[in-house]
A and B are shown apart, each in its own frame.
Chain A
Amino acid sequence: MEEQYQQAIRYWTLAQPVVSAYVAAVVRDFRDRDDVLQAISVAVLEAFSSYDPARPFTAWAMGIARNQVGTYLRERKRNRLIFDAETVDLLAVAFEQIDSVQTRKIDFLKECLAKLEGRARQLCELRYQNDLKPAAIGSLLGMTPNTVAKSLQRIRDQLRQCIERYAALEGGQS
């Protein structure tokens, strides 16, 4: 039993970044996001005995995630700022196809974030640490919401390029 539990934890640890990103893509409220993700992790561990190791684990966990997210969205179907069912399904398929190479690449984010300085670092922290939207950040820093949005877009592009550079470097060394 403990071996099975260990296995479940090991698989879930690897699949969690993808499942978490999928939940974040369709559940907009950050508190709800945490709740839905927790419900998924509990369901994954409870149902692990029915998992067929011949199948990719992430795809199996995504199946559970789709059910949990579906339940959540049905309760909030009147909200226009939520994707429709067809888009949510297409996104689930897209997330299932994200492979371990891509998720491992994102691990370089830590190194890339360490290189961020000054205003870029401040913007990132206000957006992701304090969960502030561009309008709120703008009023804090004396910038227009549009300038903040553009800056955040540029910062994410820079981080993406940095991650690719690290990944290429590692690929070249191995």
Chain B
Amino acid sequence: MIPDLDPCELIDGYLDDALTADQQEELSTWIKVHPDHARTFAEAMLLHDRLRNTLAAYETPVAMHRSSTIESRRGGLGGSWLMSSVARTTAAAAVLILGLATLWFSISTQTASAAIRELDRIIVNSMRSKDRTFEIVVEDITTERRGKRSAMPESQRPPKPPLDGAALYVRSGNQFVLVRKTQEGLPFVTGSNGQQSWAINTRGPVRVSADVHCFDHDLPGHETSVPLTNLHEGLQQLKVAYELTFSALGPEEYETGDGHEARLLIAVKKRKERGPQRVEIVYDAISGGILRMRFVQMPYGPDRLDLRLSLVSQDELSSDFFEHTSHHVPDRKIEEEN
């Protein structure tokens, strides 16, 4: 708390939501002392509000839509004295519809821009913590082109360990570790340190490749620009290829554990874009921190997955955690792949 703020500091503190209840009381008292004080506050607020409206990402000023609507209608009504009464009635109805459409458009534009601001907060928060650990749950699998599947080379390989129940550790710079369990309950670990990727099967040599993406294909999303190994890139893609909305979640829908409100951001894929049909992100309303992500109809080879990633931890992992050597015994044979 900053003691003895002068009125200007109180106003700025208010603009930045940084006042305590007592300081706000002090500001309120100061405003009441003289009408000039209220005017000073109002002028500061005018600048603050315009700053927000100007800088908010992708914000489309409502006034601009309305002005352009007026201009276009002016042109269209230039010869209105020639119109028959039927035509005038029709024009009036059209104008009314246009007006309602404009109003609806401005409402939906504001809602969309608010959702984009929410996504920006999530993106900014995602840059804060270095490491994240998620638990993966596969809710549903649908397979397309079943008839063709047997002809694919993938089908000739031994079945991959299931994603369901896997642990995913991610760090910026495309670093990840994915730990799945085989049917025998043994760990099958793949990962990347951002410079090389690697796979540790239950038997045989550890496979290491200079291609950082060589072993991330076991995770869905890499082929549609929504890589689970790069949260930042995936979130940016949502801004481009998805329609966004958001809403508050009640404690009965999601319990954050620390009493914070949770919000749900829903991203629905635009037509002709690639990627999961729908992405749902549950996040902390105060910090913007991701708590859970759900991907619906996520392309995964010939399959479409519905999967859920729940945040388990944001604790920092050891500096060598994304090296393969941290996940196998030292004398294990290493096989370099081209």
Which residues of chain A have a CB within 8 Å of any CB of chain B? 1-2, 5-6, 9-10, 12-13, 16-18, 20-22, 24-25, 28, 30-31, 34, 38, 41-42, 45, 80-81, 83-84, 86-87, 90-91, 93-95, 97-98, 102-103, 106, 109-110, 113, 124-136, 139-140, 145-146, 149, 152-153, 156, 159-160, 163
Contact = CB atoms under 8 A, between A and B. Distances in A.
Interface string B1-44: 01000001100110111110100100010011001001101111
B297 to A, nearest CB: 29
17 contacts: A2-B73, A2-B91, A2-B96, A30-B117, A41-B106, A80-B21, A87-B32, A91-B31, A94-B39, A113-B54, A127-B16, A129-B55, A129-B117, A130-B120, A136-B124, A152-B16, A156-B47
B12 A152 contact: yes
Nearest to B248: A31
Contacts, number: 172
B54 A84 contact: no
B92 A2 contact: yes
B124 A2 contact: no
B249 interface: no
A56 to B, nearest CB: 16
Nearest to A13: B63
A88 to B, nearest CB: 9
B21 A45 contact: no
A94 B54 contact: no
Contacts of A149: 12-13, 16, 18
Report, nearest first, the 4 A-B pairs whose CB atoms are least far apart.
A94-B38, A2-B95, A128-B55, A21-B49
A153 to B, nearest CB: 4
A24 B91 contact: no
A90 B31 contact: yes
B43 A98 contact: yes
A21 B42 contact: yes
Contact of B41 (A91, A146, A153): A91
B69 A132 contact: no
B312 interface: no
Contacts of A160: 47
Given A5-B95, A84-B28, A128-B56, A134 B46 contact: no
